[in-house]
Amino acid sequence: MKNNTKVKTIFVCNECGNESPKWVGKCPACGAWNSLFEQRLEVDSKFKDTGVAKNNALTLSEIKLVDDNRFTSGIGELDRVLGGGIVSGSLVLVGGDPGIGKSTLLLQMCQTVAGEKVTADAGEADGGVKSEDKSSAKGGAKNGTKNGAKILYASGEESQKQIKIRADRLGISNPNLFLISENNIDTIFDVVREMSPKILIIDSVQTVYCPEITSAPGSISQVREVTMQLMKLAKDTGICIFLVGHVTKEGAIAGPRVLEHMVDCVLYFEGERHQFHRILRAVKNRFGSTNEIGVFEMRDKGLEEVLNPSEMLLSGRPENTAGSCVLCSMEGSRPLLAEVQALITNSSFNVPRRQASGVDYNRISMLMAVLEKRVGLNLSGSDAYVNVIGGLKLDEPAVDLAVALAIASSFRNIPLGKDVMAIGEVGLTGEVRAVSFIEKRVAEAGKLGFKTCVIPKGSLDEVPKGVNVLEVRTVREAMGII
């Protein structure tokens, strides 16, 4: 019998996924050097069905939504970032640096999913998962409780015993959680058909492979094909699927950018490994806002929610120290108070050194130019170091005034005062412009005991009780509190 399969060779860029018929030293799409690798594709010459279902077009009024279309994960900060809970049939990608806590967060979610924690004794906690093959997960599917939602945790990086050790450390004892150590996507699908879980967790998507693709796991074609099959599974069955994704040294999800386009929600788990707190941020969400963040704190027993991030970020703040100012940034619907510190010293170099952490470097250079031109501070010969405490990354213009005050305070070596908070955008002419949600920002500052708020002129209609509001039009006027 004649074989209709043809072998085609292409070259794929590991950075952007661009395909080229021949090898080139520089990718024509993203400009990366030596990033193209040879890949063989088997193309079946037979006609393939497009998969488009006939007579399946419905009007909006004909589409019925069930009551349990969205359910809670049991973790308030995660629900906040997801837009109010987990949506059935959604595909969620969770990325972050190694060791940041991605697997820990999802494993803890397995304990609290559906809004209430599930408890079980040691015998039930195993759920029948004792062997190292896939049959253990299939057999354990009948041992779960009747009321709980079944969860399948498929790991391509750890064995079942390794996950069990970590689950015991975190106190995970959900009898409806089933573990499988498998890299083959077809085998995982067999277990899914046997169990019919409500949630499927893949850890990680770069370790899973499709047997029909000849390239190695983690390659561009493998990640794209595996994600495509998982997306189809989620839409056809209503199973919510969480994918753990590795990140590159630049901090982006490893693999082609099409991976982020295919999923419904992309979450980034941020934070420094030597710090306790972690920030969960949505960069894409089809079912909610992308401005919300969730704040966690890493403990010995896993991640704990931080219900008042402002209080945590301001803890340990020095008193009567020059170069420190408190600001308020809006992260979605949540006002978040943080401390910005500046250090201005005489430079010993021909070109002064400028360094920024947590704020845009170019923004710092602009603010220093405004302070020198409009206020008269001689900053051209000084080294400048600006840092947002806690590892936060702030990119909204509302933090300009606080950064400018911190720089001026350090330059003049005069403290601002421990109960001063500043909000406002600074323009090139030195004016202070109004910002959004000014009422929420001032109210949050008042709750945390700040007595003085420096804000743009005419931006606040009603002043909260116990707060002294100083309205300024220019940066020069704001310098009066120093």
Same domain, 32 and 109: no
Strand partners, 308: none
Total domains present in the chain: 3
In a domain, 54, yes or no: no
Per the listing, tokens 């420190």 go with: 324
Same domain, 277 and 324: no
Same domain, 244 and 358: no
Same domain, 162 and 292: yes
Question: How many C-beta atoms surround the C-beta of residue 279 within 10 A?
Answer: 23
- In tens, the pLDDT along 428-472 reads 999 999 999 999 999 999 989 899 999 999 888 887 788 899 999
Minimum mean pLDDT range among 3-17, 85-99, 115-129, 232-246: 115-129
Question: What are the structure tokens assigned to 12, written together?
Answer: 């794929």
CATH code of the domain containing 379: 3.30.230.10
Strands (E), 46-194: 70-71, 86-87, 91-96, 151-155, 177-181
Same domain, 295 and 319: no
CATH code of the domain containing 142: 3.40.50.300
Query: Which residue range(s) make up the domain with 282?
Result: 67-307
pTM of structure: 0.75
Nearest to 214 by CA among 41, 12, 45: 41
CB 92, CB 263: distance < 8 Å: yes
Looking at the chain, how many residues does it have?
482
Percent with pLDDT over 70 in the chain: 84
Cα–Cα distance between 247 and 224 in angstroms, integer? 16
Label the pairing between strands 324-331 and 334-346.
Answer: antiparallel
Which of 245, 273, 307 is at the close of a domain? 307
- In tens, the pLDDT along 355-376 reads 999 999 999 999 999 999 999 9
CB 90, CB 265: distance < 8 Å: yes
Query: 254 by DSSP, 3-state: which?
Result: coil
Distances, alpha carbon 381 to alpha carbons 343, 353, 375, 411, in Å? 13, 9, 16, 12
Residue 125 is predicted with a pLDDT of 37
Same domain, 261 and 285: yes
- In tens, the pLDDT along 210-268 reads 988 877 788 777 888 899 999 999 999 999 999 998 776 555 555 556 688 889 999 99
Cα–Cα distance between 65 and 242 in angstroms, integer? 22
Cα–Cα distance between 402 and 326 in angstroms, integer? 7
- In tens, the pLDDT along 391-416 reads 788 989 999 999 999 999 999 999 99
